[in-house]
Amino acid sequence: MNLVVLEHVDGAPTEVSMQALTLAQGLGGATHALLIGPGAREAAATVPVAVAHVAEHEALDAFAPDAWAAIVCEVSDRIGATAVVAPGTEHATDALARAAARLGEPLAANCVAVTPGNPLALTRVRWGGSLLEEALLHAGQALLTVAPHTVFAASPGSPGATEPFTPELSDADLVVTVRDRVAPAAAGVSLPDAKVVITGGRGVGSAEGFGPVEELASLLGGAVGCSRAVTMAGWRPHTDQVGQTGSKIAPELYIACGVSGATQHIAGCKGAKRILAVNTDPEAPIMSVADYAVIGDLHEVLPAISAELRRTAS
Ligand SMILES: Cc1cc2nc3c(=O)[nH]c(=O)nc-3n(C[C@H](O)[C@H](O)[C@H](O)COP(=O)(O)OP(=O)(O)OC[C@H]3O[C@@H](n4cnc5c(N)ncnc54)[C@H](O)[C@@H]3O)c2cc1C
């Protein structure tokens, strides 16, 4: 019996959750799902699993990692789950790590493939995506997260039963909880959802230098990203950062401008279908992962692309 923790937005399971479900189903045996908080019941009704457990509690309106961990432990104990799988997002990883500590079991994070058996044979992403590790998981109960965008979500099947329940939560489970959310300054498409991302690195030169990056993003209906060198310089907020310690994204097109292509940066954008590098240095490491490159000054190249887009649109 496997339990998969599914995150959901606007009453539908997220894409990375469905990827986690596909990996969980590959383990064999029946798969149950766990969905938590507002909108969970609606999302659960679409999920192709034997039973979708829906945790409903007034304290679950905001994310609370220990509460999630308590709920994971409660449900996995109730159904006798031998494996618990979740998407490798910040929230689900946080919750599963806490569940692992409660259960006294190891957590294998960022799996990309699992071969059923005892022990489970895992392939997982390590070192910010620069290493694929083959490992055997010796555990009473396997706790796994799935690296986002590394597993294709199978086509949805028929949904199973939905079982709402009220979890038992203590005050200690609710000590850590999200109290407030700060909306990003810029409106428009968000970095993780954008089909096109135009990222600026240190080569942009200054906060004001992002003008051509923002202009191109607006013309292409895309989002602006940046490297850590940029956030460290205070030119852009951390919410724009792509990489090992930023967002991990998989757009159709990733345009990296003035970005050298450090492994920690590539960890965040290597899921992109196509990468276009704009860089003055033809030897920059980004070239080894780029599908297309323009060797030149981004302050000349980007306005030229924007001008051409405007000309063809008029
Ligand atoms: C634990 C750890 C975690 C990290 N996490 C992240 C992360 O999440 N994301 C991340 O990005 N980095 C991360 N880093 C930092 C990473 O190692 C690099 O230092 C960083 O990515 C470099 O940013 P950059 O490419 O913008 O700058 P640089 O490496 O300085 O590259 C600038 C590039 O711009 C080019 N350039 C200069 N001027 C122009 C111009 N006018 N036109 C066109 N090209 C130009 C240069 O040729 C160069 O290739 C992390 C590092 C560590 C140790």
pLDDT in tens, 100-118: 999 999 999 999 999 999 8
Structural domain includes residue 236:
yes
CATH code for the domain in which residue 268 is found: 3.40.50.1220
| Structure confidence at residue 185 as a pLDDT band (50, 70, 90) | low
Average pLDDT over the chain, rounded to an integer: 94
The answer to whether the CB of 297 is under 6 A from ligand 1 is yes
On the question of pLDDT at 129 being above 80, the answer is no
Separation of alpha carbons 151 and 149, rounded Å: 6
CB of 92 within 8 A of CB of 5? yes
Q: Could you report the per-residue pLDDT of 62-76, keeping only the tens digit for each?
A: 999 999 999 999 999
From the list 294, 284, 289, 240, the residue with the least C-alpha distance to 266 is: 289
Q: Are residues 7 and 134 in the same domain?
A: yes
Separation of alpha carbons 309 and 295, rounded Å: 19
For the beta carbon of residue 64, count every other beta carbon within 10 angstroms.
24
DSSP letter, residue 61? S
Q: In what order do the strands lie in the sheet with 161-165?
A: 131-137, 120-126, 107-115, 142-146, 83-87, 2-5, 31-36, 51-55, 161-165
From the list 292, 272, 303, 277, the residue with the least C-alpha distance to 201 is: 277
CB of 61 within 8 A of CB of 32? no
Number of domains the chain is built from: 2
Q: Are residues 202 and 155 in the same domain?
A: no
Separation of alpha carbons 87 and 110, rounded Å: 8
CATH code for the domain in which residue 15 is found: 3.40.50.620
Q: Are residues 19 and 108 in the same domain?
A: yes
Q: Are residues 88 and 206 in the same domain?
A: no
Residue linked to tokens 């979740």: 86
The answer to whether the CB of 201 is under 6 A from ligand 1 is yes
Structural domain includes residue 111:
yes
What is the per-residue pLDDT for 131?
83
Ligand 1, atom 53, residue with closest C-alpha: 264
| Nearest atom in ligand 1 to 244's CA | 8
The answer to whether the CB of 264 is under 6 A from ligand 1 is yes
Tokens of 242: 């792509």
Q: Are residues 16 and 140 in the same domain?
A: yes
Residue 253 forms beta bridges with which residues? 196, 274
Structural domain includes residue 179:
no
On the question of pLDDT at 17 being above 70, the answer is yes
Ligand 1, atom 18, residue with closest C-alpha: 262
* Distance of alpha carbon 41 from the chain centroid: 22
Structural domain includes residue 169:
yes
Q: Which of 191, 279, 301, 305 to mutate to test the pocket of ligand 1 (most atoms within 8 A of CB)?
A: 279
From the list 215, 214, 246, 249, the residue with the least C-alpha distance to 229 is: 246
Q: Are residues 246 and 135 in the same domain?
A: no
Distance between Cα 202 and ligand 1 center (Å)? 6
* Last residue within a domain, chosen from 139, 174, 209: 174
Structural domain includes residue 73:
yes
Q: Could you report the per-residue pLDDT of 273-313, keeping only the tens digit for each?
A: 999 999 999 999 999 999 999 999 999 999 999 999 999 98
DSSP letter, residue 112? E
From the list 39, 1, 38, 7, the residue with the least C-alpha distance to 20 is: 7
Cis peptide before 119 (omega within 30 of 0): yes
What is the per-residue pLDDT for 149?
85
On the question of pLDDT at 187 being above 70, the answer is no
* The model's pTM: 0.70
Q: Are residues 168 and 200 in the same domain?
A: no
Structural domain includes residue 191:
no
Question: In terms of DSSP bridges, do strands 8-9 and 12-13 run parallel, antiparallel, or are they unpaired?
Answer: antiparallel
Distance between Cα 258 and ligand 1 center (Å)? 8
Structural domain includes residue 259:
yes
Q: Could you report the per-residue pLDDT of 192-241, keeping only the tens digit for each?
A: 889 999 999 999 999 999 999 999 999 999 999 999 999 999 999 999 99
Structural domain includes residue 116:
yes
Distance between Cα 203 and ligand 1 center (Å)? 8
The answer to whether the CB of 259 is under 6 A from ligand 1 is yes
* Distance of alpha carbon 307 from the chain centroid: 34
CB of 67 within 8 A of CB of 167? yes
Which of 30-34, 37-41, 123-127, 297-301 bottoms out in mean pLDDT, i.e. has the lowest? 123-127
Q: Are residues 28 and 89 in the same domain?
A: yes
Separation of alpha carbons 296 and 277, rounded Å: 10
Q: Which of 197, 245, 255, 275 to mutate to test the pocket of ligand 1 (most atoms within 8 A of CB)?
A: 245
Ligand 1, atom 52, residue with closest C-alpha: 264
From the list 145, 143, 265, 150, the residue with the least C-alpha distance to 199 is: 265
| Nearest atom in ligand 1 to 284's CA | 49
Q: Are residues 226 and 124 in the same domain?
A: no
Q: Are residues 38 and 125 in the same domain?
A: yes
Q: Are residues 123 and 231 in the same domain?
A: no
Q: Are residues 128 and 220 in the same domain?
A: no
Q: Range of 14's domain?
A: 2-174
